[in-house]
Amino acid sequence: MAYARAVVRVGVEKRNRWRVRLEERIVRTLLFLCALVGIVTTFAIVLILATESVGFFEQVSLVEFLTGTVWTPTFANPSFGVLPLVTGTFLTTAIAMAVSGPVGLLTAIYLSEYASPRVRRVVKPTLEVLAGIPTVVYGYFALTFLTPLLQRFIPALEGFNALSAGLVMGIMILPTVASLSEDALYAVPNSLRYASLALGATRFQTVWGVVVPAAMSGISASFLLGISRAVGETMIVAIAAGQQPTFTFNPLRAIETMTAFIVRITMGDIPHGTVEYRTIFAVGLLLFVITLALNLASEAIRQRYKGARL
């Protein structure tokens, strides 16, 4: 059908070739502009984060921002040490990775090296569904299910805490880590497995001694991407981890992450142009730089292992 239509159209257009050429140029330019939108977006992000941050750092010294341990930008006597937000983010990210790292890797190994097609048919859609659940739903789950459950075993656990937010975040990131790690394991050529097995190694030894080391770069790339997701995740921590910037590494306490801080400030009506308003862009810049570095590192590792010949 597509063929026939093309033939007819071309026959008609041939009579006014200049019009066809003009149309071709216009369309090409329009499509080019579409492709340009991506670059414009990146520039816009960098530009707004940078300009507002410059305004912020005219009033707050960079040293105070990066080394201070008290974060009270909305108080009458404000203090702008971002470290409590950084430790809060670090804490939830570390807990999330403690779940999704090992479980994700084991899931990937199990799916790619052990599981029968029947098991795969169950597990893969389950992971896809877990990946498709909105983060606000995970937040609800952490706050109303996991925290009360954990409080039965850990009485010291506060109502808002880094622990259950981090654990649920780990479940959220699990599909990312698992599917990217599985891709990496899948890319290991079978010849390596056969060689190892032919030498008398067991399957366990083959997996841990040959396949996993060969896929190590891809696995670490998936971990880096997982960390980046955890750092940028907003809703779970805004709901379940609390909104108290505390300089602590205690997972049982209420904390505040960089993302949750941005939510808290924008929910209140902070007037435009004030230092308080600019803090969200300074924190946003820090968040952007961290996630960009992680994403670039992950991409670089992935590209390298794609090129590597085993």
Angle CA 229–234–240, to nearest 5: 115
Q: Terminal CA-to-CA distance of the chain, rounded, Å?
A: 46
Interaction of residue 275 with another protein, rule CB under 8 A: no
Sign of the dihedral defined by the CA atoms of residues 62, 64, 65, 67, in that order:
positive
Give the contact letters, 123-152, x = binds to another protein (CB under 8 A), - = no: x--xx-xx-xxxxxx-xxx-xxx-------
Tell me how far, at minimum, the Cβ of 61 lies from another protein, in Å.
Answer: 23
Task: Give strand pairing partners of 71.
Answer: 80
Interface residue with another protein, options 50, 62, 98, 106 (CB under 8 A): 106
C-alpha 71: how far from chain center: 25
Unique residue bearing structure tokens 């659940």: 133
Unique residue bearing structure tokens 């009360």: 148
Interaction of residue 304 with another protein, rule CB under 8 A: no
Q: What is the enclosing helix (H) or strand (E) of 54?
A: helix 17-59
Instruction: Give the footprint of another protein on residues 145-204 (CB under 8 A).
Output: 145, 171, 174, 196, 199-204
Tell me how far, at minimum, the Cβ of 170 lies from another protein, in Å.
Answer: 10
Q: Are 282 and 57 in contact (CB under 8 A)?
A: yes
Per DSSP, 223 falls in state: H
Tell me how far, at minimum, the Cβ of 266 lies from another protein, in Å.
Answer: 5
Q: Could you give the CA distance from residue 113 to residue 9 in angstroms, rounded to a whole number?
A: 53
Binding residue count for another protein, defined by CB under 8 A: 98
Nearer to another protein, 68 or 170 (CB): 170
Near another protein by CB under 8 A, which window of 54-62, 72-80, 118-126, 215-223? 118-126
Nearer to another protein, 2 or 63 (CB): 2
Per DSSP, 80 falls in state: B
Near another protein by CB under 8 A, which window of 21-29, 76-84, 185-193, 246-254? 21-29
Instruction: Give the footprint of another protein on residues 70-99 (CB under 8 A).
Output: none
Nearer to another protein, 9 or 306 (CB): 9
Tell me how far, at minimum, the Cβ of 76 lies from another protein, in Å.
Answer: 25
The strand ranges marked E within 139-288 are none
